[in-house]
Amino acid sequence: MSREEELQAIATALRKGSPYFKQGWNVNALQAFIRDGGSCAYCLKPLLSTWEGAKNATIDHLLPRCKYPELGWSVSNLVPSCGECNHVKHNYDPSEGKGNDLDLTDEARLGLVRKAKEEIDRKAKVNERWESEFQTARLRFQDAVTQYRQCKESPAAA
């Protein structure tokens, strides 16, 4: 039995033996989680060690499905991801448009994961800057809401 067939058999047995994995788990996504040990491919956060982690667990199409629909739910193109990394990565294409020419071997997938991680880290630094700006913006927004409500409630507005 090939490694891919063995992985599929393990995932199928897990789905059969566990109501949790039987409901709502795509068997190919489950194979990716098993292959990668249940941790986010990008930040390495364990996703299935606690209920909170499991609720935040997602599956990411390493090469975006919108750009490479032919890959569909291919196990080789799926990686476990926490919600935050998946959201930040979004439709980033770590192959830079060369996904159709790639053979997604373990080595190639790990190289693409590293490249996607670099992009996630770059975007996270930008987000940190916006997070500090948000603190000021949040106060200004609250003031604007208060101002509007006062305006709406004043007799002149009626």
Q: For the segment 84-143, what is each residue's pLDDT rounded down to a tens digit?
A: 999 999 999 999 998 988 999 999 999 999 999 999 999 988 877 787 888 888 889 998
Confidence of residue 158 (pLDDT cuts 50, 70, 90): low
Is 126 or 16 the better-scoring residue by pLDDT?
16
144 occurs within a structural domain: no
- Counting residues of the chain whose pLDDT is more than 70, the rounded percentage is 98
1 occurs within a structural domain: no
9 occurs within a structural domain: no
What local confidence, expressed as pLDDT, does residue 153 receive? 85
In sequence order, the β-bridge partners of residue 81 are: 58
What residues have CB less than 8 Å from 83, skipping those under 6 apart?
56, 57, 58
Query: In this model, does residue 21 exceed pLDDT 60?
Result: yes
Task: Please compute the mean of the pLDDT values over residues 51-64 and round it to a whole number.
Answer: 95
Compute the mean pLDDT over every residue in the chain, rounded to the nearest whole number.
92
Question: How far apart are alpha carbons 49 and 94 in whole angstroms?
Answer: 28
What local confidence, expressed as pLDDT, does residue 157 receive? 54
2 occurs within a structural domain: no
| CA contacts within 13 A on the Cβ side of 58 | 15
155 occurs within a structural domain: no
Note down the domain range covering 111: 36-127
What local confidence, expressed as pLDDT, does residue 155 receive? 74
Domain count for the chain, please give it.
Answer: 1
What local confidence, expressed as pLDDT, does residue 23 receive? 87
Query: In this model, does residue 57 exceed pLDDT 90?
Result: yes
70 occurs within a structural domain: yes
| Continuous H helices in the chain | 3-17, 19-22, 27-35, 51-56, 83-89, 106-153
Confidence of residue 24 (pLDDT cuts 50, 70, 90): confident
79 occurs within a structural domain: yes
Token pair of 133, please? Answer: 């700006």
Position 45, amino acid: K
